[in-house]
Structure 1
Amino acid sequence: MTLDLSTSQELQLRLDPVASEDRFPSVAFDVEAKFIMPFQQTTISIKECWFSHADLNRFEEELGNLCREETGTAVLLNMSGVPIVAVERCNEEITTRVQATDTVGIGKVVLEVTGYPSEVPVMLEKVREYPKWW
């Protein structure tokens, strides 16, 4: 079942589960972020991106904190400690950042979209409602 973190028509953010590992409590998602504007579109696809269950739970907790606080950040790190999704709040402005970094350190792609504080509770609710097996 896809975890759809999209909060606007401009930014579509989806995590599709593709594998899980019980020995190291973790799950792999194909991550896709699309930035859609009238005359342009950008897509970032990250295949089989592994997240620990603890990091997924921490991301949910940090999103909850962002709902209550004027400033802060919720970051979803992959198992290598690289931030894949970051949601930053600075008063009435939200910045969602999706980052794809290659495994040998040659380069990275970052998609950054500005939004509104009302989007954070929507994202949190989607994470909370996602059927977790961890």
Structure 2
Amino acid sequence: MASDSHTWNLVFLQLLLEELGHRVTNLGACVPDELLVSECRRIEPDLIVLSSVNGHGYHDGLRVIGALRACPELARTPTVIGGKLGIAGSGDPDRQRSLLAAGYDGVFEEGRSVADFRSFVGALPATGGRVLPATAGRALPASAASGVLL
């Protein structure tokens, strides 16, 4: 997200998703909202994953999901958010309800099990969405199940 300059969380998520058989386009840190939306429109991913570790994920996430859901072609794309979403600690049920009501399909706040995220991803249909190779520059197998934008 635009305010989050951390990258290790994105690398971890990319590796996890690739391990699960998905192609990943990792846009990196500090991605402006407009760039995120334009890349999602261009790539047409099967899943959008937003991650934050700076504690501003909740506020950034509310802004970003509004922009994504305002695009007709992205309105139904599964989109999740996770990480450190607030500075007052994790586990705020009001924060989770608010993000879900705003349009997220899943909220995986710090402290929640990676198994929950794996289960969510595993339940998604593999549609073979159009994707770009991961930003690390290595080619991904053509047999990868779907495209995830990170």
Normalised by the length of structure 2, the TM-score is 0.26
Kindly indicate which of the two structures has a greater share of residues assigned to strand: 1
Question: Greater relative contact order (Cα 8 A, min sep 6): structure 1 or 2?
Answer: 2
Kindly indicate which of the two structures has a greater share of residues assigned to helix: 2
